[in-house]
Chains A and B, each alone.
Chain A
Amino acid sequence: MARIVAVNSFRLGVGRSTIATNLAVLLALRGQRIGLIDANLQAPGLHILFGQHLDQASYLLNDFLQNKCDIQQAVYRIALADGVAHQGLLWLVPASPHLTETTRMIRQGYDLDWFYRGLQELASTLRLDMVLIDTQNGLTEETLFTLAIADVLILLSRTDQQDYRGTAITVELARKLDLPRILLIVNEAPGTADFSILKTQIAQTYHCDVGAVLPHFEEVMALASAEIFVLRYPHHPLTTQLEQIGDELVRS
């Protein structure tokens, strides 16, 4: 079975969708067969980042979860090329942003076993190396379940006071669930910070190694989710850092 990589953060607006998308794209460009799932059903965002690739999207993850279609009908091959004629191997399962659907997800949630079976089927049919799941933020029933089935947790945190406690609890819970690998990534670190001191401080706060400290970049903000960052800025330091995280994921 493909490795399941959960991308989570305790709070909102930490950069989960952006990081999950860019990591998935980079992994696909280096030849990995990647499934990317928008499991943030209460407030999906991946369809926006992949907007230009999803003109013909009809069935979505929501339809599969309501047993209206097979999982294969809700998956979309994303054509990628990095200009060096490498074919990216990326498949996206988007979720519905429509108010009726997000409201339904808020009120009722979804069948977690069914979700898991869909992932397994997808992984085997498409012979995936990894399934990246952009989870809902925080510790809800759904995210807990995803942590329980994950092989790797990419846990994102900002350097904001509002993030600390919840992120620390997530690390603790992930450990209790015997999650094999936790990759803690600090996102949007202020440019004024000393990154090595920051890394040490954060590692101490969470009792967990810090996989990477990603600085805040105006270019990311300015791009404003209109495009995929690593495709637009293939030689940017952020892209390089994300490639290194990709290396880690492939190696571990």
Chain B
Amino acid sequence: MPKIVSIHSFRGGTGKSNTTANVSTLLAAEGQRVGVIDTDIQSPGIHVLFGLDEDDMVHSLNDYLWGKCDIEETAHDVTASLKADIDGQIYLIPSSIKAGEIARVLREGYDVGLLNDGFHELIEKLDLDMLMIDTHPGLNEETLLSIAISDALIIILRPDQQDYQGTGVTVEVARKLIVPQMLLVVNKVPTTFDFDEVKARVEQIYECDVAAVLPHSDEMMALASAGVFVLHYPNHQVSSELRQVAAKLLA
């Protein structure tokens, strides 16, 4: 059964796009056909992790939302660009990085129902096992839709006061929308923190499974979204934690 997974965070800068790209890659490495859709139209970023730049983008999600093409035409097969031994497939549906197009969407808005149709069409046309939705931070119409139709929701937070309150709201909303599987990922945790304690505390506060506690990593910072971390550092603690997330999605 194909699975729709939303990756969300209340505040920005939590590492959503990196987590999405890495977990998607791990899933593809397990033979899954994975679609990754960047619905953060305001500030698209995940294309960078897959090495897709403006010249490579034939069509973007924006084109589909403006009725210029079918959604499968916006899918870019980025599997080969990962230069790794991957059994499965990764299709990236990017958002436009042209300033004018971003401005247009912000000004005009778009049909959220059309986006929803697009998700299902992608799964069907590309025969996907998983559709990973990289959302815009915060709770708005589009992110609520993604959460509502998801089979699994990954909420990412940093162990920072600015994240805690908002994450509580998101968890509550997700519960009301009856998302079947909800996983928390605590990211950018200072290495001086007690990780077991962080996990226990977060699980207690939100009464929700913590799938991974990811330490702040200098290597991740230095990689700077230039590539997919798990391919560069397969034996790193962060990579093993992310494998746990992938495993939970496949369970």
* Total cross-chain contacts (CB, 8 A): 94
Residues in chain B near residue A14, CB distance under 8 A: 13
Nearest A residue to B107, CB-CB: A141
Whether the pair B11, A169 counts as a contact (CB closer than 8 A) is no
Chain B contacts of A42 at CB under 8 A?
Answer: 138
Shortest CB distance A104–B (Å) = 11
Contact between B17 and A221, CB atoms less than 8 A apart = no
A103 sits at the interface (CB 8 A): yes
Q: Which of A162, A188, A190 contacts B17 (CB 8 A)?
A: A162
What is the minimal beta-carbon distance from A93 to any residue of chain B, in angstroms?
18
- Contact (Cβ within 8 A) B137 A43: yes
- Residues 26-55 of B at the A interface (beta carbon under 8 Å): 42-43, 45, 48-49
B97 an interface residue at 8 Å Cβ cutoff?
yes
Residue in contact with B225 in the complex, picked from A51, A106, A161, A226, CB distance below 8 Å: A161
Chain B, interface SS category: loop
A85 at interface, CB cutoff 8 A: no
Point out the residue from B11, B165, B193, B218 that lies within 8 Å of A12, measured CB to CB: B11
**A45→B169 CA distance, assembly (Å):** 15
Closest to A140 in B: B106
B138 touches A102 (CB 8 A): yes
Q: Is the interface of A mostly helix, strand, loop or mixed?
A: loop
Interface string of A205-228 (1 = CB under 8 A from B): 000000000001010011011100
Q: Are A11 and B162 in contact (CB under 8 A)?
A: no
Nearest residue in B to A137 (C-beta to C-beta)?
B12
Instruction: Indicate the member of B165, B169, B224 with the most A CB atoms within 10 Å.
Output: B224
Contact of A222 among B43, B169, B193 (CB under 8 A): B193
- Per-residue 0/1 for A126-163: is the Cβ within 8 Å of any B Cβ (1 yes, 0 no)? 00000000000111100000000000000000111110
- Which B residues lie within 8 Å of A158 (CB)? 224
Indicate whether A11 sits within 8 Å of B43 (C-beta atoms), given known contacts A159-B224, A190-B222: yes
Check: A229 CB closer than 8 A to any chain B CB: no
| A166-B43 in contact given A218-B190, A221-B216 (Cβ < 8 Å) | yes
Q: Establish whether residues B162 and A17, one from each chain, have CB atoms under 8 Å apart when the complex forms.
A: yes
Are B190 and A221 touching (Cβ within 8 A)? yes
Residues in chain A within 8 A of chain B (CB atoms): 10-14, 17, 42-43, 45, 48-49, 51, 97, 99, 102-103, 106, 137-140, 158-162, 165-166, 169, 188, 190-193, 216, 218, 221-222, 224-226
